[in-house]
């Protein structure tokens, strides 16, 4: 059976129970592979009728492509970014021997200056392609324009920026994500009740999360015409106390029966509800990370919307690999799953 090059190498590695790098060494007659392993791999190659061509030529050139990763640094606030980083590293382990070198540029999630500094450092290096988390709209637009000038290919993960055309976007369809939550919430709330939608930030960043998800939320919920009211806010806060003050002021006037958090900070609302012993409000959020999961287990967060972030990082790396090394057309929009995680199934969620 004849197979494509990339899938063929991966299948050979799977059957032989070795790494892709080991298969690559055998294919190109390099040292460092035990004779018994080499014979096993050669037998599988013969059985599959595998014939490397384009990829072999690419490898023969010995060109090393340099990829940059511009992403939030690992910290408690940005913990949900650990998974895509792991996905990128997993892809590097598989394809690194095919002529790829990675450099990480970590910025502080809520620090616009940090993003600018790290992006400038990246642009001052010889870089072929970059994976970027576009947290700050204007700054990302400027960075993307400089990438175009320098002929650097860039891939967006998690969020899109209007009017910017990356090599590929890998993340949720934000409108559809909102629609899923809207449909879900039909079963959590009664006619004529109030709902609150929040995007909680420390600086004004990608308010697109709120705008796009609320659009989908309204499409998924209000289409049933049950006379529920929806209030939505982009809440800019510096710490928990400031957020708690906002919630207290809001609840003095309003009585929402459901709160939907469009980004990964549902744990802030959950903490407030727990500390104030408020049990009648349903809570739906985004992001599979420890802080959210703890409140999900306690039943304070009812549902989390997740998107397999590890796979997201893997696909982002693969997009650059496909463009530069495999020389194949890259899919512009690669939408991730819109998964619903609960306290009953979170242990089985493949993150």
pLDDT digits (tens, 9 = 90+) for 330-346: 999 999 999 999 999 99
Structure tokens at 25: 């060494």
Q: φ, ψ for residue 227 (rounded to 5)?
A: 65, 20
Q: Mean pLDDT check: name the lowest of 13-22, 74-83, 180-189.
A: 74-83
Residue entry with tokens 């919920």: 221
Question: Using an 8 Å Cβ cutoff, are 217 and 180 in contact?
Answer: no
**The CATH fold of domain 5-60:** 434 Repressor (Amino-terminal Domain) (1.10.260)
Instruction: Select 174-306's CATH number: 3.40.50.300, 3.40.50.2300, 3.40.50.360, 3.30.470.10.
Output: 3.40.50.2300
Side-chain-side CA neighbours of 152 within 13 Å: the count stands at 26
- Other beta carbons within 10 angstroms of residue 67's beta carbon come to 24
> For 244-254, b where at least 16 C-beta lie within 10 A, e where not — what string?
bebbeebeeee
- Roughly how many angstroms between the first and final C-alpha of the chain, as a whole number? 33
Among candidates 158, 126, 63, 235, which has minimal Cα distance to 140? 158
CA distance linking residue 57 with residue 118, whole number of Å? 35
Question: Using an 8 Å Cβ cutoff, are 334 and 169 in contact?
Answer: yes
184-197 confidence digits (pLDDT tens): 988 898 888 999 99
Where does 65-171+308-337 sit in CATH, by number?
A: 3.40.50.2300
Among candidates 230, 222, 219, 220, which has minimal Cα distance to 195? 230
78 band by pLDDT with thresholds 50, 70 and 90: low
All CATH 3.40.50.2300 domain ranges in the chain, comma separated: 65-171+308-337, 174-306
pLDDT at 1: 36
All CATH 1.10.260.40 domain ranges in the chain, comma separated: 5-60
- DSSP state at residue 301: S
Q: pTM of the full predicted structure?
A: 0.78
DSSP 148-163: HHTT-EEEEES---TT
pLDDT at 130: 97
Give the C-alpha distances (Å, rounded to integers) separating 166 from 30, 77, 107, 148, 174.
37, 26, 20, 10, 17
């Amino acid at each position: 059976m004849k197979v494509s090059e990339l899938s063929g190498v991966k299948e050979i590695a799977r059957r032989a129970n070795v790494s892709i790098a080991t298969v690559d060494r055998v294919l190109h007659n390099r040292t460092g592979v035990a004779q018994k392993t080499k014979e096993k791999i050669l037998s599988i190659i013969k059985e599959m009728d595998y014939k490397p061509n384009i990829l072999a030529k690419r490898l023969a050139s010995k060109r090393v492509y340099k990829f940059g990763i511009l992403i939030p640094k690992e910290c408690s606030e940005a913990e949900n970014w650990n998974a895509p980083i792991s996905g990128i590293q997993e892809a590097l382990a598989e394809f690194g021997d095919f002529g790829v070198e990675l450099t990480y540029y970590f910025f502080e999630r809520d620090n616009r200056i940090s993003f600018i500094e790290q992006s400038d450092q990246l642009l001052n290096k010889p870089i072929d392609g970059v994976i970027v988390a576009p947290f700050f709209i204007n700054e990302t637009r400027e960075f993307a324009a400089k990438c175009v000038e320098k002929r650097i290919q860039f891939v967006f993960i998690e969020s899109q920026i209007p009017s910017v055309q990356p090599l590929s976007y890998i993340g949720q369809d934000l409108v559809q994500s909102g629609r899923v939550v809207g449909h879900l919430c039909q079963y959590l709330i009664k006619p004529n009740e109030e709902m609150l939608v929040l995007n909680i930030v420390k600086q004004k960043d990608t308010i697109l999360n709120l705008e796009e998800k609320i659009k989908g939320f309204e499409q998924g919920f209000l289409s049933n015409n049950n006379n529920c009211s929806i209030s939505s806010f982009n809440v800019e806060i510096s710490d928990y106390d400031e957020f708690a003050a906002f919630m207290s002021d809001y609840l003095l006037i309003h009585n929402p029966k459901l709160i939907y958090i469009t980004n990964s900070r549902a744990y802030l609302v959950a903490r407030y509800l727990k500390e104030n012993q408020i049990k009648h409000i349903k809570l739906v959020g985004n992001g599979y990370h420890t802080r959210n999961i703890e409140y999900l287990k306690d039943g304070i967060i009812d549902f989390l919307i997740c998107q397999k972030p590890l796979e997201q990082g893997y696909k982002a790396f693969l997009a650059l690999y496909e463009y530069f090394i495999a020389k194949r057309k890259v899919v512009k929009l690669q939408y991730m799953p819109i998964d619903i995680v609960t306290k009953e199934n979170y242990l089985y969620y493949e993150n």
